[in-house]
A and B are shown apart, each in its own frame.
Chain A
Amino acid sequence: MRELVVISGKGGTGKTSLMAAFAHLAEAKVLCDLDVDAPDLHLIAEPAIQRRGPFLSGHVAEIDPAPCTGCGTCLEVCAYGAIQARGASFAVDRGRCEGCKVCVAFCPGQAIDFPERLCGTWYQSETRFGPMIHAQLDPGQENSGKLVALLKSQARKHADQLGLDLILSDGAPGVGCPVISSLSQASLALLVTEPTPSGLHDLERVSDLCRHFRIRSAAVINKADLSRPYQAAIHQLCLERSIPVVGHLPYDRVVTEAMVRGQAVTEGAATPFGAQVRQVWAELLPLLAVSSSSSTQENPS
């Protein structure tokens, strides 16, 4: 099984737009949207949901006012400021509750319940690009990486069932838990960056992360013509770290125009930008060590 994970460190560099194009160009794969906090791939892929499931993670404390004696022990032991006075009793602020169980353990009246927390929903869907596994975390929920792990596991199972050997995963911004979880068992991480101070800074951090977890990486510079000095700086960084740069894509409105139409930038009429994205995909394939699919011809109309 081969898995390409597309990450960026910095948000807004064009991960999902590129992923949509790869989804269009690649054959015989399962798509996976691991940005469960703010997923966007479905806006292009237009999934038809086949299966869904609840995502339960951790617990949350709930104070039952009936047995509560108002002693305030819970307030005293809570390290997260999640307990507030309410009338003669106390109440838990679900948004701040860490699910540590300390108040539950120390309540002298056993007045605190500790149910599992419903954090979101995951989906297995069909799209015009093939099967897709995705999810939506409920707003404000913890993003521990467990849902990401669940989606990756579902994608692998589904790929095995269908006899497919490639998973394309759209990652999350940042370098925390969800990104770490996204990188697990990845064959290659594609780092999408932009030639700006933030782009360079975050590329370094996300590359550090890949090195820390020993994941091979490659880079693509999006909006490459915005700054020559920063483009050069990115090349220098990649050279120092032996990260192959698989392409430079110019700052081009066609990406947004395609997004507004609900299409990947390689769908519809041929454009120079689309041709360059195809070239990036062609450069990536040998790095992924997947057998090349039969060439997809650019639609001349």
Chain B
Amino acid sequence: MTATPIRRLAITSEGTTLADLVDPRFGRAGGFLIVDLESMATEYVDNGSAQVRAQGAGIQAAENLVRAGAQALLTGQVGPKALSALLACHIRVVQGVENMTVGEAVAGFQAGRFAWSDGPGY
């Protein structure tokens, strides 16, 4: 998957805990759970500032992730503009992560079951 170890992993989330479901959207997701993969400490980042935007929600969400120090993102779909923003900030992206809890997504990532996504999701 990757040589650089990822420590701070972001997952789009419908809630504030590992038991909540992954939110398949990125730009208009309610929030992100940032997981420190060494300590397994979690931190919730609200994505409201992106949700309220008429346009550019994905870009604002990317800004929110950068500010939170995320190094990689697990989500369902990312639009093309947000994706280029994330990659420009060296945040790796896995798409197609949905219909599971955040905890299951993290476990899947650590077990090496996901591949990085290259293209936009829409």
Contacts and interface: CB of A to CB of B under 8 A. Distances in A.
Direct contact of A and B (CB under 8 A): yes
Interface of A: 56-58, 142, 144-146, 149, 153, 184-185, 213-214
Nearest to A149: B28
A199 to B, nearest CB: 26
A56 B52 CA distance: 8
Contacts of A184: 122
A144 B54 contact: yes
6 contacts: A146-B55, A149-B28, A185-B24, A185-B25, A213-B122, A214-B122
Interface secondary structure of B, over-half rule: loop
Given A184-B122, A185-B77, A213-B122, A144 B55 contact: yes
Contacts of B54: 57-58, 142, 144-146
Interface string B33-54: 0000000000000000000111
Given A185-B77, A213-B122, A146 B24 contact: no
Given A144-B55, A185-B77, A214-B122, 6 more contacts: A57-B54, A142-B54, A149-B28, A149-B57, A153-B28, A184-B122
A184 B120 CA distance: 13
Nearest to B76: A185
Nearest to B24: A185
Interface of B: 24-25, 28, 52-55, 57, 77, 122
A173 B77 CA distance: 26
Contacts of A153: 25, 28
A213 B121 CA distance: 9
Contacts of B57: 149
A149 B25 CA distance: 11
Nearest to A183: B122
B122 A146 contact: no
A100 B55 CA distance: 12
A173 to B, nearest CB: 20
A57 B24 CA distance: 23
Contacts of B53: 146
A232 to B, nearest CB: 33
Nearest to A116: B52
A144 B25 CA distance: 18
Contacts of A57: 54
Q: Considering the complex of A and B, which 8 residue pairs feature the smallest CB-CB distances, nearest first?
A: A144-B54, A146-B54, A57-B54, A213-B122, A58-B54, A144-B55, A149-B28, A153-B28
Contacts of B77: 185
